[in-house]
Structure 1
Amino acid sequence: MKSLSMLKSEERVAVLEFAKLIRERFGSTIKEIILFGSKARKESGKESDIDILIVLSEVSWEIKKTISELAAEENLKHDVLITTIRYDAAAWENPVIKTSPFGRAVRREGIWL
C-alpha cells in the first residue's frame, strides 16, 4: 500500500477511521476503498477535499445514504471534508468506466485503503 504521508495528521486519522467504519458496516460487500484525486497526487491546496471511491458488490440508495452519513460524521469529528463516489463492482469493471479518463486516473494514482 502506498503511504498516506501526504495527508495532514487529522486527515490521515479521518481517512483510516472512515475506511474502518465502512468495512465494519458493510463487510464483504466492500470490494475496494481508494483515496484518489488531488490528495493522492500530492497536489492538494488548502481547500481541497478528500476524495474516496468505494466499490461494493452492490449499491443501493440505503447504502449510499449510510456511507454519506458516516463521511459526514468523520468530517465533523476531524474538521475535514471527505467526499465519496460509490460504484457497484460490475459498473467499476465495465470497460467504458474502466478505460475512461476518470477510471484510468483512479487506477493509476489511487491509494488503496
Structure 2
Amino acid sequence: MRAVRGLPLLFLVPLAAMAQDGGLASKAYDGQWRVAVQTTVGNCAPAADVVVTVKDAKIVGVSAGGVETWGYIDAGNMVVGRFSQGERALRANGSVKGASASGAWSASADYCGGRWTATRVN
C-alpha cells in the first residue's frame, strides 16, 4: 500500500448524513469488503486497495496497520467513514446496494480526493 503524504491511502468509506430515522442498517452488510480507491484530485497516491470490515452495520477495521476507523451504514444504505492515522484523516461517503458500494473520499490535510468502489468478499 502506498502512503499518501504519510497517510496510507485506504480510506474509502463514505461521509453522509444519517437517514432521517437515524437508524443503522441491519447486519445484511456485515463482513469484509474489498475497496479500490482512485485519486482524481490532488497529489495523493493514484490508487490503492484495502479490505474494510463491517460488523453490526459499523466499520470496525481496515487492512492497513495503525489506522483508526469509524463509520457506519445507515438504514437508507448510505455509507459514512473516517480513517485516521495521527493528525491525518480521510473521510468517505457513498451508498451500498447488494454486494457492491461506491462513493467519494477526501483528505483535506493532503488536499486530495477521489472515488472508491467496493465489492463484498464474504
- The TM-score normalised by the length of structure 2 is 0.31
Structure (1 or 2) with the greater helix fraction: 1
Structure (1 or 2) with the greater strand fraction: 2
